[in-house]
Amino acid sequence: MGNKKNSCSKDTDVINASEIGQYHYCSVAWYLQRCGYEPVSPMLDIGAKKHMELGRIIDNTQIKLKKSRFIGIIAYLLLILGLLIFLLGVIL
């Protein structure tokens, strides 16, 4: 881009890491988005819906993982308690 200031640039010349990735992927799309143009495509809507669906699946999976870890901890504690009761019964 050089030192030339564009009329559609944002108030600041600072860009974030996400913008660097967008620029690397497609500099023209990055420039147009920075100028305020929004892409219009039915595929973008489909992609957004898929991302939301995948996000819900990941959230549900994480919840199930936490539950299964909790149940696993309870199972180990019950196993230890059972072994202690058994050992106390053998000793007494």
Q: What is the pLDDT of residue 3?
A: 38
8 Å CB contact between 34 and 11: no
pTM over 0.85: no
Residue boundaries of the structural domains of the chain: 1-39, 41-92
8 Å CB contact between 35 and 8: yes
Q: What is the pLDDT of residue 12?
A: 65
Residue 64 phi, psi dihedral angles, 5° rounding: -65, -40
Q: What is the pLDDT along the chain (92 residues), one digit of tens a residue?
A: 333 445 565 566 778 888 888 889 889 988 888 888 888 888 988 999 999 999 999 999 999 999 999 999 999 999 999 999 999 998 87
Q: What is the pLDDT of residue 56?
A: 96
How far is Cα of residue 90 from the mean position of the Cα atoms in its chain? 52
